């Protein structure tokens, strides 16, 4: 039995062979969301931070409560920071300044149902944050699909929004549309060039989304550089997404947006680096990860272009989570010494 | 220089070799008393051939090989046998170290059978850790065509420097030992695989090669990366040959030997010295005089560590073998055996207890370091869920237990322990399932023994009869039809083939899992041998009578 461990061997000649302990791994993921969160805050105001703070608070409270009820040690589980990561990721996915009860409902679905009821960290077949997100999306579509346009740091009715006390007419008035949403809603006979020439979005929206996407990319690059995630899932996801978007675009440029548009708007890059790479609910072998990522990328484009929802990262991830056992079954690597094709 | 072939996975643990490889090889003091276990090798324990009170010299055989995969044990000091138990022989030394040596042989002038017999009676086994009997390994030529002998001098485990040090001190002898073993198994080339963290040993080998200019010897310096010394990986790296799963290096024409084994084999032949001592690394922060020592087999570990300055207050545990694959000793009241290549007296800081395990998050770190391309985390789940068919489907038995996965696991899960337990459980199930089969084999053995005894009795009677007849001059009954002789000959050939087959099966099993018991296979082999003896006797008898009848006609 190995008596040496990477985390305890400070004198190892090359320490990159291993990953940091699970807890610090989770904290690195949380840290890598900072560029994206800060950029989002810069464009959409403090409502972004309020989402994340509330979601993280819910995560800690719910996780401790369930662990207490399950009679499991609470501190080690809180210390691994996995609940924090779930909170940060769900918080970052929600429209800025979402009401507290919306966040609460989402976190109950994420932490209690998707994670703890399946047995806690490592046991959940579905990505917890995306379970929460999908539940909110189908249950409260009005709250979930309308993003406010870019605005100053402190919006006019920030507090009222968070408290959920804003009348619904005012919510509609505050809300703009995401680029993905706007393009989807455009009239069929309107050509894409005319659509963009009219610029139907509130000023600066498209630029804001591009900057935010690039910030998520920067965070993803940090995770890759620290070897916290492997390149397989993001590369396969983005590659298949770009390829399929290109095919659609070539077939009908008026109906279907360009690959660049798909890559740089919506939750594509956030999803590719922070959501799809959740190791617990992803496929395990290298080949399996490639298949898994490619499946998500494909589903995102199919749903965006042909389905009823403007964005589809959550559904893409959840549907591929379902496929993981199957993928794992058929991608067991061929160990050294087994003849090619001799697998059972 | 040969090209090297990349293999996947592997880790870079701290080496910690400088603590023991900075001092020259030393001699541990002659122990006053030794305890020699009867099983210091893979396979069956030897059978004691001395009795309490008997005087033995250093090198006197005290236990005989029992079965095909087994080895002799020799007294490692001169003195009096004081105790013979089922597991070990104890000798009280006289302090004189009187030697019993065999006739020195020149291996270049000696035939293979004599050399094999010498290795056999010298008790030489693999000193790298597995302890496979060297004479049996050398007889591989009976079953496989070997073209390459590899000297596995990688010594990739942290801490251990025994091979490094003997390569510095005895490079010529080790190379000569390799040439001898290569000539025995018919290998035409010798390759030396050594990690690049042993510059002195590499220099020593280069010098010897430059001086003696041996034919077809290649020195391959490979990058330091654990577990490069795993036999199958080394063969892949040096020769780009893939040993099949559940296969042996011999299946791809390769035989691997550890430098220590080659040195011991050469000494057994050239100086007639049976295996009574070995070089081992004594290291760790809790001893003050670390280094490599010639140690007599059977020396008490406690006394040995005391000799090198064990600080008992600092000691947290003693590890036998390396920190990756070795095991922690429960007691220091144990002897050094042929398998003990290293003892690490570690303090709390250098090998700290593993932090508590947290849940697996399927991060895949284990998969990326696995040198045989398994999915360790899947195996972990299946081992815990006891899904045995899934375990086999995920190739549990291809795991070489190197510990790379445990080393990198961010959740500190003792993965290798899980795999070992699962393997044990599965093997146990197989043994249970094969119990009826074993009973059948035991019965067959008994039948074969009785048949052989009957044949012997017949032969004796026949001989007496023939003698009586030749003296009385009466003609023998001419009842030896040619057809009968022919069918006996066929039966004898079949019996020979059965023996060969049984040997082959046993050899394969024993080399694949040297730590298991192979009694059932040994019994099947013994059965085949009894059958062969009986067939031989019957044939000889039939021939005699046929001859006699011809003469009389």
Distance from A17 to chain B by nearest Cα, in Å?
Answer: 6
Asked, for residue A1, whether it belongs to a domain, the answer is no
- Residue B431, judged by CB atoms within 10 A of its CB (0-12, 13-18, 19+), counts as middle
A152 touches chain B (CB under 8 A): no
How far the first Cα of chain B sits from its last, in Å, is 72
> Among A8, A19, A285, whose Cβ lies nearest the Cβ of B363?
A19
Q: State pLDDT tens for residues B150-193.
A: 999 999 999 999 999 999 999 999 999 999 999 998 999 999 99
Look at B361 and A22 and tell me if their CB atoms are within 8 Å.
Answer: yes
Residue B1: predicted pLDDT: 44
Question: Can you tell me the distance from the alpha carbon of B139 to that of B157, in angstroms, rounded to the nearest whole number?
Answer: 29
Question: Can you tell me the distance from the alpha carbon of B321 to that of A92, in angstroms, rounded to the nearest whole number?
Answer: 51
pLDDT bracket for residue B504 (50, 70, 90): confident
ipTM higher than the 0.90 cut: no
Asked, for residue A342, whether it belongs to a domain, the answer is no
CA B48 to chain centre: 20
Mean pLDDT of B474-492: 69
Min mean pLDDT across A289-303, B356-370, B404-418 is at: B356-370
Contacts of B513 (CB under 8 A, 6+ apart): none
* Chain B residues touching residue A5 (CB < 8 angstroms): 354-355, 406-407, 409, 412
One-character DSSP codes across B219-254: EEEE---BTTTSHHHHHHHHH---PPTT--GGGGTE
A75 touches chain B (CB under 8 A): no
Greater model confidence, B295 or B4: B295
Asked, for residue A341, whether it belongs to a domain, the answer is no
> Among A1, A5, A335, whose Cβ lies nearest the Cβ of B373?
A335
Rounded to 10 deg, the angle between the A286-306 and A313-330 helix axes is 150
Min mean pLDDT across A84-88, A330-334, B196-200, B327-331 is at: A330-334
- Residue B397, judged by CB atoms within 10 A of its CB (0-12, 13-18, 19+), counts as middle
Asked, for residue A339, whether it belongs to a domain, the answer is no
pLDDT bracket for residue B539 (50, 70, 90): confident
* Chain B residues touching residue A76 (CB < 8 angstroms): 356, 358
Look at A18 and B407 and tell me if their CB atoms are within 8 Å.
Answer: yes
Asked, for residue A165, whether it belongs to a domain, the answer is yes
- Residue B426, judged by CB atoms within 10 A of its CB (0-12, 13-18, 19+), counts as middle
- Secondary structure in 3-state letters for B479-537: CCCHHHHHHHHHHHHHHHHHHHHHHHHHHHHHHHCCCCCCHHHHHHHHHHHHHHHHHHH
3-state secondary structure of B165: helix
pLDDT bracket for residue A270 (50, 70, 90): very high
3-state secondary structure of B74: strand
Sheet with B327-328: list strands edge to edge: B26-27, B291-296, B277-283, B342-347, B315-320, B327-328
Look at B12 and A13 and tell me if their CB atoms are within 8 Å.
Answer: yes
Neighbour tally for A189: CB within 10 Å: 7
Residue A276: predicted pLDDT: 95
> Among A2, A13, A230, whose Cβ lies nearest the Cβ of B403?
A2
List the structure tokens of B257: 């030997």
Residue B478 has pLDDT above 60, yes or no: no
Size of interface A-B (CB pairs under 8 A): 165
> Among B224, B398, B416, whose Cβ lies nearest the Cβ of A335?
B398
List the structure tokens of B441: 């084999």
* Chain B residues touching residue A9 (CB < 8 angstroms): 13-14
Mean pLDDT of A285-292: 93
Look at B410 and A334 and tell me if their CB atoms are within 8 Å.
Answer: no
Question: Can you tell me the distance from the alpha carbon of B35 to that of B27, in angstroms, rounded to the nearest whole number?
Answer: 19
* Chain B residues touching residue A230 (CB < 8 angstroms): 364, 368
One-character DSSP codes across A133-151: HHHHHHH-HHHHH-PPPS-
Sign of the Cα torsion B113, B115, B118, B119 reads negative
Residue B542: predicted pLDDT: 82
3-state secondary structure of B353: coil
Nearest to B81 by CA among B60, B108, B110, B109: B60
* Chain A residues touching residue B228 (CB < 8 angstroms): none
List the structure tokens of B499: 């023996």
Residue A344: predicted pLDDT: 41
Alpha-carbon torsion, ordered B472, B474, B479, B481, to 10 deg: 100
List the structure tokens of A306: 């042909």
List the structure tokens of A105: 């409902």
Residue B122: predicted pLDDT: 95
Question: Can you tell me the distance from the alpha carbon of B547 to that of A193, in angstroms, rounded to the nearest whole number?
Answer: 110
How far the first Cα of chain A sits from its last, in Å, is 30
Sign of the Cα torsion B525, B529, B530, B532 reads positive
Min mean pLDDT across A236-245, B3-12, B486-495 is at: B3-12
Mean pLDDT of all residues in chain B? 89
A20 touches chain B (CB under 8 A): yes
Mean pLDDT of B132-152: 89
Greater model confidence, A147 or B339: B339
Distance from A149 to chain B by nearest Cα, in Å?
Answer: 38
Rounded to 10 deg, the angle between the A205-225 and A34-44 helix axes is 170
Residue A94 has pLDDT above 90, yes or no: yes
Question: Can you tell me the distance from the alpha carbon of B383 to that of A89, in angstroms, rounded to the nearest whole number?
Answer: 32
Asked, for residue A340, whether it belongs to a domain, the answer is no
List the structure tokens of B349: 């800081």
pLDDT bracket for residue A16 (50, 70, 90): very low
Lookup result for tokens 């073209």: B147
| Structural contact between residues A101 and A51, judged by C-beta atoms closer than 8 angstroms | no
List the structure tokens of A217: 């990319």
* Chain B residues touching residue A125 (CB < 8 angstroms): none
Residue A166: predicted pLDDT: 73
Question: Can you tell me the distance from the alpha carbon of B275 to that of A290, in angstroms, rounded to the nearest whole number?
Answer: 55
Lookup result for tokens 């790296």: B237
Q: State pLDDT tens for residues B94-121.
A: 999 999 999 999 999 999 999 999 999 9
Strands B148-153 and B254-257: parallel
A74 touches chain B (CB under 8 A): no
Residue B6: predicted pLDDT: 65
Question: Can you tell me the distance from the alpha carbon of B177 to that of B288, in angstroms, rounded to the nearest whole number?
Answer: 34
Nearest to B400 by CA among A337, A285, A330: A337
Residue B474 has pLDDT above 60, yes or no: no
Question: Can you tell me the distance from the alpha carbon of A276 to that of A240, in angstroms, rounded to the nearest whole number?
Answer: 14
Neighbour tally for A27: CB within 10 Å: 17
Contacts by residues A253-256 (CB-CB < 8 Å, ≥ 24 positions apart):
A253/A192, A254/A190, A254/A191, A254/A192, A255/A188, A255/A305, A256/A305
Min mean pLDDT across A237-251, A327-341, B459-473, B502-516 is at: B459-473
Residue B60: predicted pLDDT: 95
Q: State pLDDT tens for residues A151-185.
A: 877 777 778 788 877 776 666 666 667 888 888 87
Residue B538: predicted pLDDT: 85
Q: Assign 3-state DSSP to chain B and report helix, strand, coil percentages, each to 5.
A: 45, 15, 40
Contacts of B155 (CB under 8 A, 6+ apart): B161, B162, B163, B164, B195, B198, B229
Residue B268: predicted pLDDT: 96
Rounded to 10 deg, the angle between the A128-139 and A313-330 helix axes is 140
pLDDT bracket for residue B485 (50, 70, 90): confident
Look at A76 and B360 and tell me if their CB atoms are within 8 Å.
Answer: no
What is the domain range of residue A310? 6-331
Mean pLDDT of A218-230: 91
* Chain A residues touching residue B409 (CB < 8 angstroms): 5
Strands B79-84 and B73-74: unpaired
Phi then psi for residue B344, to 5 deg, are: -110, 115
Mean pLDDT of A249-276: 92
Lookup result for tokens 């600066």: A204
Lookup result for tokens 């220091």: B332
Q: State pLDDT tens for residues B541-552.
A: 888 777 777 777
| Percent of chain B with pLDDT strictly greater than 70 | 96
A284 touches chain B (CB under 8 A): yes
Asked, for residue A290, whether it belongs to a domain, the answer is yes
Question: Can you tell me the distance from the alpha carbon of B338 to that of B256, in angstroms, rounded to the nearest whole number?
Answer: 18
List the structure tokens of B189: 């080339």
> Closest chain A residue to B241 measured between Cα atoms?
A337
Residue B415: predicted pLDDT: 93
Look at A3 and B323 and tell me if their CB atoms are within 8 Å.
Answer: yes
A125 touches chain B (CB under 8 A): no
Residue A1: predicted pLDDT: 59
Choose the mutation target among A5, A125, A229 for the interface with B, i.e. most B CBs under 10 Å. Answer: A5
Residue B4: predicted pLDDT: 65
Asked, for residue A337, whether it belongs to a domain, the answer is no
Contacts of B88 (CB under 8 A, 6+ apart): B35, B36, B37, B38, B335
pLDDT bracket for residue A194 (50, 70, 90): confident
Give me the number of domains chain A comprises: 1
| Percent of chain B with pLDDT strictly greater than 90 | 57
Alpha-carbon torsion, ordered A258, A259, A262, A263, to 10 deg: -140
| Structural contact between residues B87 and B45, judged by C-beta atoms closer than 8 angstroms | yes
Min mean pLDDT across A297-306, B222-231, B540-549 is at: B540-549
CA distances to B28, B308, B337 from B303, rounded to whole Å, are 10, 9, 14
């Amino acid at each position: 039995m190995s008596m040496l461990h990477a985390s305890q061997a400070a004198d190892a000649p090359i320490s990159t062979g291993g990953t940091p302990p699970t807890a610090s791994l989770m904290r690195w993921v949380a840290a890598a969301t900072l560029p994206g969160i800060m950029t989002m805050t810069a464009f959409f105001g403090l409502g972004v931070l309020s989402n994340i703070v509330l979601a993280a608070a819910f995560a800690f409270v719910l996780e401790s409560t369930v662990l207490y009820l399950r009679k499991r040690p609470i501190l080690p589980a809180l210390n691994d920071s996995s609940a924090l990561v779930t909170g940060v990721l769900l918080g970052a996915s929600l429209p800025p300044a979402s009401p507290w009860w919306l966040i609460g409902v989402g976190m109950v679905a994420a932490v209690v149902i998707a994670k703890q009821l399946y047995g806690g960290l490592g046991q959940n077949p579905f990505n917890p944050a995306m379970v929460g997100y999908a539940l909110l999306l189908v249950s409260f579509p009005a709250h979930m699909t309308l993003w406010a346009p870019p605005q100053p740091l402190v919006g006019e009715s920030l507090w009222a929004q968070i408290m959920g006390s804003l009348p619904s007419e005012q919510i509609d008035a505050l809300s703009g549309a995401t680029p993905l949403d706007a393009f989807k809603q455009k009239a069929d006979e309107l050509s894409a060039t005319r659509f963009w020439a009219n610029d139907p979005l509130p000023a600066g929206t498209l630029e804001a989304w591009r900057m935010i996407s690039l910030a998520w990319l920067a965070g993803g690059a940090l995770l890759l550089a620290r070897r916290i995630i492997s390149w397989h899932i993001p590369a396969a996801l983005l590659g298949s997404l770009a390829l399929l978007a290109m095919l659609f675009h070539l077939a009908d440029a008026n109906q279907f947006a360009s690959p660049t548009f798909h890559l740089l708007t919506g939750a594509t890059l956030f999803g590719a680096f922070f959501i799809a790479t959740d190791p617990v609910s992803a496929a395990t072998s290298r080949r399996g990860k490639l298949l898994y990522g490619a499946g998500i990328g494909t589903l995102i484009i199919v749903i965006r272009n042909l389905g009823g929802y403007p964005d589809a990262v959550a559904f893409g991830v959840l549907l591929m989570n379902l496929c993981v056992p199957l993928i794992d079954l058929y991608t067991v690597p061929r160990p050294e010494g087994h003849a090619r094709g001799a697998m059972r | 220089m040969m090209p090297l072939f990349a293999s996947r996975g592997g880790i870079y643990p701290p080496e910690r070799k400088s603590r023991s490889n900075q001092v020259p090889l030393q001699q541990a003091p002659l122990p006053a008393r030794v305890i020699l276990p009867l099983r210091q090798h893979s396979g069956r324990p030897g059978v004691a051939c001395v009795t309490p009170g008997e005087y033995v010299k250093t090198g006197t055989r005290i236990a005989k090989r029992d079965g095909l995969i087994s080895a002799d044990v020799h007294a490692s000091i001169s003195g009096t046998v004081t105790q013979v138990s089922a597991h070990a022989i104890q000798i009280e030394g006289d302090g004189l170290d009187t030697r019993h040596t065999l006739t020195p042989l020149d291996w270049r002038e000696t035939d293979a059978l004599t050399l094999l017999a010498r290795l056999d009676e010298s008790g030489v086994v693999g000193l790298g850790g597995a302890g496979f009997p060297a004479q049996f390994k050398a007889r591989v030529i009976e079953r496989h065509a070997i073209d390459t002998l590899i000297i596995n001098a990688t010594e990739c485990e942290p801490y251990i420097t025994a091979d490094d040090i003997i390569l510095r001190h005895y490079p010529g002898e080790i190379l000569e030992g390799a040439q001898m073993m290569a000539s025995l198994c018919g290998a035409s080339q010798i390759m030396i695989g050594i990690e690049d963290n042993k510059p002195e040993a590499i220099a020593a080998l280069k010098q010897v090669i430059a001086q003696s200019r041996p034919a077809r010897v290649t020195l391959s310096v490979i990058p330091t990366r654990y577990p490069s010394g795993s036999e199958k990986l080394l063969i892949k790296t040096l020769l780009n040959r893939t040993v099949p799963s559940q296969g042996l290096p011999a299946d791809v024409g390769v035989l691997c030997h550890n430098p220590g084994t080659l040195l011991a084999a050469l000494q057994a032949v050239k100086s007639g010295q049976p295996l009574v001592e070995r070089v081992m690394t004594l290291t760790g922060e809790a001893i003050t005089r670390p280094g490599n020592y010639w140690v007599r087999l059977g020396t008490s570990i406690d006394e040995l560590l005391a000799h090198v300055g064990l600080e008992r207050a600092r000691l947290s545990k003693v590890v036998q073998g390396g920190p990756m694959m070795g095991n922690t000793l429960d007691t220091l009241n144990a002897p050094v055996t042929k398998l003990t290549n290293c003892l690490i007296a570690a303090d709390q800081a250098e090998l700290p207890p593993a932090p508590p395990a947290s849940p697996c998050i399927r991060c895949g770190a284990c998969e990326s370091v696995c040198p045989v391309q398994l999915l360790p985390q899947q195996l972990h789940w299946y081992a815990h869920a006891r899904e045995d068919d899934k375990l086999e489907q995920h190739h549990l038995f291809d795991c070489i237990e190197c510990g790379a996965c445990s080393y990198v696991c961010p959740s500190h899960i003792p993965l290798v322990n899980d795999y070992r337990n699962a393997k044990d459980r599965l093997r146990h199930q197989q043994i249970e399932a094969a119990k009826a089969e074993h009973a059948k084999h035991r019965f067959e053995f008994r039948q074969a023994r009785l048949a052989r005894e009957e044949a012997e009795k017949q032969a004796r009677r026949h001989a007496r009869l023939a003698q009586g007849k030749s003296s009385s001059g009466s003609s023998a009954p001419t009842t030896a039809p040619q057809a009968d002789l022919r069918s006996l000959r066929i039966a004898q050939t079949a019996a020979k083939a059965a023996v060969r087959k049984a040997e082959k099966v046993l050899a394969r099993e024993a080399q694949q899992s040297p730590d298991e018991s192979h009694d059932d296979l040994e019994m099947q082999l013994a059965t085949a041998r009894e059958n062969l003896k009986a067939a031989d006797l019957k044939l000889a008898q039939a021939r005699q009578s046929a001859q006699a009848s011809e003469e009389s006609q």
